[in-house]
């Protein structure tokens, strides 16, 4: 049995992290078991992005979808830990 995985690739270019995360919230509608967010290019996260991450986590929990952060920056992870959000995500190196 294979587990369906949807990946939301967050690439740092002209769009903000918040905007990319809002796109991930929309992709959550199509996710079945897991939604992977590639954080490898994200070096900082602000309050508006944290708010969207919290919204994303709440919606994912309601749908029983696991959220995976792929390769998050140590500083980004520290912020998630300080804001008590880190437990809502799995982390892949």
Q: Residue 3 gets which letter from DSSP?
A: -
pLDDT at 87: 95
Residue 24's pLDDT band, with cuts at 50, 70 and 90, is confident
Number of domains in the chain: 1
Residue 73 CB-density burial (10 A; 0-12 exposed, 13-18 middle, 19+ buried)? middle
Q: Which domain holds residue 36?
A: 5-92
Report the CATH number at residue 59: 3.30.750.24
User: In this structure, what DSSP letter does residue 12 have?
Assistant: -
Half-sphere exposure in the Cβ direction for 75 (13 Å, CA): 6
Q: What percent of the chain has pLDDT over 70?
A: 84
Is 35 a residue whose pLDDT tops 60? yes
pLDDT for position 1? 42
Among 12-16, 26-30, 69-73, the least confident range: 12-16
Confidence band for 33, pLDDT divided at 50, 70 and 90 = confident
Q: What is the pLDDT of residues 66-90, one digit of tens each?
A: 999 999 999 999 999 999 999 999 9
């Amino acid at each position: 049995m294979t587990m369906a995985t949807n990946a939301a690739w967050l690439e740092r270019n002209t769009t903000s992290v918040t905007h990319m995360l809002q796109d991930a919230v929309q992709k959550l509608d199509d996710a079945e078991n897991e939604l992977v967010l590639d954080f490898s290019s994200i070096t900082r996260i602000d309050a508006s992005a944290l708010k969207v991450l919290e919204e994303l986590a709440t919606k994912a929990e309601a749908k029983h979808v696991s959220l995976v952060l792929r390769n998050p920056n140590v500083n980004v992870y520290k912020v998630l830990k300080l804001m008590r959000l880190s437990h809502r995500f799995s982390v892949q190196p």
